[in-house]
Amino acid sequence: MAGRPRSFDRDAALAAAIELFWRAGYDETSIAMLTSAMGVTPPSLYAAFGDKETLFEEASAVYFQRICDAVDTAAQLPTVREAVTTILDGTARAHTAGTTPLGCLMLTEPRLVAQREELQRRLSERIARGVADGDLPTTTSPDQLASFLMAVMRGMSGCARDGGSTEEVLAIADLALAALPDQQSAAPLHR
């Protein structure tokens, strides 16, 4: 039995769920809040997405894929400095955009540890490639530098959530760029 067709746009409802989880966090988000934001009834939510946990997993996967796409695109740039500059610039601007909640769901939500670890792994791989290419000194530890960059991005997210301006968040990125090995060619993000 096929049942009734959905009377809502699933993608739009999922986008509303992402924004709500991003704004309020998983623990503070109730089913009532979700159904209101998504414009669906509780039975429709459960039929389309399962329970709150399943909805969160799908929503956070969509959100995380966007981040991975941006990081993977930046990682293709010729140098680690260019890649990191692009990532930090994009991070600062995304964290403070007026069109979305402040900060970053992936960097602040306690349930998304595995996604943060995956992002750190991708950064470490790009840094290791930079070391192998002679772009960074051979003494550079890809894992340590990737861990540092993750800490910086989490700090940028926190600053944005606390009301920091784009310029303030870009200033944090500038300091992180200055800490990269072989920093004499650093170009500040703060424009």
DSSP labels, 12-39: HHHHHHHHHHHHH-TTT--HHHHHHHHT
> What is the percentage of the chain residues whose pLDDT exceeds 70?
92
Q: What is the pTM of this model?
A: 0.88
CB-based contact 34:72 (threshold 8 Å) = no
pLDDT at 189 over 60: no
Dihedral sign for Cα 111, 13, 164, 191, please: positive
pLDDT at 187 over 70: no
Band the pLDDT of 7: cuts 50, 70, 90. Answer: low
Query: What does the pLDDT look like over 126-166, one tens digit per residue?
Result: 999 999 999 999 999 999 999 999 999 999 999 999 999 99
Query: What does the pLDDT look like over 97-119, one tens digit per residue?
Result: 989 999 999 999 999 999 999 99
Among the ranges given (10-24, 55-69, 81-95, 172-186), the one the predictor scored with the smallest mean pLDDT:
172-186
> What is the percentage of the chain residues whose pLDDT exceeds 90?
88
pLDDT at 88 over 50: yes
CATH of 60-183, one of 3.40.50.920, 1.10.357.10, 1.20.210.10, 3.40.50.970: 1.10.357.10
Beta strands in the chain (DSSP E): none
Assign residue 140 a region (left: φ > 0; alpha: ψ between -120 and 50; beta: otherwise): beta
Q: In whole angstroms, what is the distance from residue 126 CA to residue 146 CA?
A: 9
